[in-house]
A and B are shown apart, each in its own frame.
Chain A
Amino acid sequence: MPRDLKYVIEGLENIKNKAAEVVIRRKEEDNMIDIETRKVTIPNIKHFFNDS
């Protein structure tokens, strides 16, 4: 599998799991679109006395 495609799939998986957000930019100079995924930290929200 091409490496770029691997990144695209990984990015989409992250978005699906809400672990990433997407930034879309249209570049004026060549009219291309940049899609960037940024990792989002999902914080820990639970604290309990035992693990049962």
Chain B
Amino acid sequence: MIPKKLIIAEDTINDIVEESNRHENVETGGLLFGKIIGECIIILKIIHSSTNAKRTHVYFEMDEDFAINITKQMEKNNLAYLGNWHKHLGYGGPSNGDDKQAELFLIQNSHKRNYLSLIIDFYNNDYNLIATNYSFDEDEFIKKDIQIQQIINIQELNKIFKRKKLNIRNFIDNLSKNLEDHTGKTFIHSQSNKSQSYKLFYEEIYDLQNSESKTKNKIVYSVFIKFPYLNISMTDKISIGVTLDHKLTRIVEEIQFSDIFFNIVELLPKLKNIFDKSQYYIKILLHSDNKKENSDFKNRIKIIKVIFRTLKSIYIQYSFKAKAKNVT
């Protein structure tokens, strides 16, 4: 599907204008990162070029090492490289040189389907934004201007994508790679046939030194992230939590899917925290387990008492009837 619309926040545009004004009478620019959902390209992060960039009134070149390192870093955080923004000094949209570079980019990066060019063209103290998407349809190189939808802030994305369902298999694969980079632990994927839910989890075996559990010394502690379906909507909730010995579960937090889809960076420290606080969660779960056992025991006693009372009353009634019979 070829993207037809660019979604960009007002703050981001203001940032581009400010950066352009900092470099008077020369071209400048930067890298664009975000997501592509169906026909929409969403800019979630922009990085301006470093001081090492070459800037003239018809030419602009970023520092290669800087650009590659930033792109690696962003892609690790699940933000795709979308393309570049750059400034023109009153000569409109993409030049022949820009078109050639876009084509070269798509040839060199065969895993990318699109390249976005966002040009801010300054003329008479005013500016115009021009968004162009480049792609390949088999061997044909396609260049197309796309509509720009300005939003006030990122939170507005929830409204735009409220009813849209996404297949998140790729997202989960990327998330597990991210988790591994961040926590050093390899998460296991599992899908439930019954409930259609999908889970990423990591298990660790703990020795209980102070004999928290009287029956055994070792306990399996697992941290999980559960998605209700693989076809998820932005407003669906995912849960993160812990499980003890595959049976006692505690949901630590429920998060709206859009919050991690547009920014998984905030999720990673939360999960690391759950690993760091493993002893705390083990204690809580074992305590609730003991409580459960206690209440089960109390219930059993109650039932036995009721049965005993019933039997006693039947016995009394029977013996009373028997006595009455003997009298007659």
Contacts and interface: CB of A to CB of B under 8 A. Distances in A.
A44 B91 contact: no
B138 interface: no
A42 B109 contact: yes
A15 interface: no
A45 B62 CA distance: 5
A5 B86 CA distance: 42
B84 A44 contact: yes
A51 interface: yes
A32 to B, nearest CB: 13
A42 B107 CA distance: 11
A41 interface: yes
A51 B96 contact: yes
A46 B59 CA distance: 8
Interface stretch (B68-76, B122-130, B237-245, B292-300): B68-76
Contacts of B80: 41
Interface residues of A, number: 18
A26 B195 CA distance: 34
Given A25-B186, A39-B111, A42-B108, A48 B97 contact: yes
- Dominant SS at the A interface? loop
Given A39-B111, A44-B83, A44-B84, A49 B71 contact: no
Given A44-B115, A47-B97, A49-B95, A21 B61 contact: no
Contacts of B83: 44
B60 A47 contact: yes
A31 interface: no
A18 B69 CA distance: 12
Contacts of A35: none
B109 A45 contact: no
A2 interface: no
A43 B102 contact: no
B58 interface: yes
B105 interface: yes
A41 B60 contact: no
B111 A47 contact: no
A46 B31 contact: no
Given A39-B111, A49-B95, A50-B97, A44 B105 contact: yes
B68 A42 contact: yes
Contact of A51 (B59, B60, B86, B97): B97
Interface of B: 27, 29, 31, 58-64, 67-68, 71-72, 75, 80-81, 83-84, 86, 91, 95-102, 104-105, 108-109, 111-112, 115, 177, 186
Rank and list the top 5 A-B pairs by shortest CB-CB distance, nearest first. Answer: A48-B97, A45-B62, A49-B58, A44-B105, A51-B100
12 contacts: A38-B177, A39-B111, A40-B68, A41-B71, A44-B101, A44-B102, A46-B61, A47-B61, A47-B95, A48-B101, A49-B91, A50-B95
Interface of A: 18-19, 21, 25, 38-51
Given A25-B186, A41-B71, A48-B61, 18 more contacts: A19-B109, A40-B68, A41-B75, A41-B80, A41-B111, A42-B109, A43-B81, A44-B102, A44-B105, A44-B115, A45-B61, A45-B67, A47-B27, A47-B84, A47-B98, A48-B59, A49-B59, A49-B91
